[in-house]
Amino acid sequence: MRAASAWQDYELIDATGGSRLERWGDALLVRPDPQVVWRNERTSPLWAKADAVYHRSDKGGGRWEYRRRLPEKWQIGWQGLRLVVSPTGFKHTGVFPEQAVNWAFYQKAIAAAGRPIRVLNLFGYTGGATLACAAAGASVCHVDASKGIVAWARENAAESRLADRPIRWIVDDCAKFVAREARRGSRYDAIIMDPPSYGRGPGGEVWKLENCIYDLIEQCTRVLSGEPLFVAVNSYTTGLSPAVMEYILKTLLCPEKGGTTACDEIGLPVSSTGGVVPCGATAFWLADGVQAGEKKSSMNAPIVLKPLAQEAQAEEE
């Protein structure tokens, strides 16, 4: 497990009974998390102080219940980046905080390369990875199918004072864009992708990650430069094992480009217990000499399960 731990403005305070209690800046949010199948007693009194709770609906989707007036949006910082957070439909906030462990890796690899690095960031969402790479000195092509999400990423770039960096903002279908870049002869030294588990393409085509991932990575190999640095494939799909993503990278890249591969779950440390909640997985192809980063296993750390006093639990209910 590689755990994202360099946050100051974000904290996963506690996780139990299908929910996470998180601090986003000054706001405390409770969100459902299907990975949190354990049901130990709550270990933080802050559950009772949540500002907003997301309730899933049986009919799909859900809604936020606000217990305190929150601004429509606010910012959190990560290593000099400023990221706009806003509780949106489908429980998202605009930041996947576990990705910070990957952002730190991208920055280290780009800085250590000692040469100009061109990054292609597919399914780039609100730009965390794009901005981390740009801040480390790379030029980045950020691709996402949603115009609104790309506008959000550009706002993050402006707030992070990176708006003048060499970033191309592309609103397009990733597979189509990569095919076009291959035909145009565009080449990238690093490719990052975080494809959704399930969706529909612009023509209504069904996108199921397990069925489409091989073709997409295969397409991507055609736009890699002659001296590639890394390829990172992230997935939140429980049906797609990290080892499968690594196998695809190994078979498609190592015979021609050499290098090594790695894969691991990524996660978020729980501040009140010392455990780590898994949040998807990332597989890497790495040029020789590049390392995927430090591991932290929740199994080796002591877990502290100090339930709240009975009265505090009762008060909360």
Per-residue binding letters, 198-217, with ligand SAM (x by CB under 6 A): -x-x----------------
Say how many residues make up the chain. Answer: 317
Residue from 146, 186, 260, 313 touching ligand SAM (CB under 6 A): that is 146
Tell me if 278 contacts ligand SAM by CB under 6 A. Answer: no
Return all residues near 132 (Cβ < 8 A) that are at least 6 apart: 79, 81, 103, 104, 106, 107
- Minimum distance from CB of 173 to ligand SAM (Å)? 4
Strand-pairing partners, residue 262, are 284
Residue from 40, 56, 173, 187 touching ligand SAM (CB under 6 A): that is 173
Q: How far apart are CA 282 and CA 6, in angstroms?
A: 18
- What amino acid occupies position 125? Y
Tell me if 247 contacts ligand SAM by CB under 6 A. Answer: no
Nearer to ligand SAM among residue 34 and residue 302 (C-beta): 34
Residue from 74, 196, 247, 296 touching ligand SAM (CB under 6 A): that is 196
Tell me if 194 contacts ligand SAM by CB under 6 A. Answer: yes
Q: How far apart are CA 201 and CA 19, in angstroms?
A: 31
Tell me if 144 contacts ligand SAM by CB under 6 A. Answer: yes
- Which residues, 74 to 133, sit near ligand SAM by CB under 6 A? 123, 125
| Number of Cβ within a 10 Å radius of residue 299 | 9
Tell me if 149 contacts ligand SAM by CB under 6 A. Answer: yes
- Minimum distance from CB of 295 to ligand SAM (Å)? 22
**Paired tokens of 98:** 């576990």
Q: How far apart are CA 317 and CA 312, in angstroms?
A: 9
Q: Which stretch binds ligand SAM (CB under 6 A): 74-82, 141-149, 262-270, 295-303?
A: 141-149
**Paired tokens of 309:** 């006093």
Q: Which stretch binds ligand SAM (CB under 6 A): 11-19, 144-152, 259-267, 302-310?
A: 144-152
Question: Which ranges of the chain would DSSP assign to H, the alpha helix?
Answer: 100-113, 128-135, 147-159, 174-184, 209-221, 242-257, 310-316
Decide: 56 and 64 in contact? Cβ < 8 Å.
no
Q: Which residues bind ligand SAM (CB under 6 A)?
A: 123, 125, 143-146, 149, 173-174, 194, 196-197, 199, 201, 236
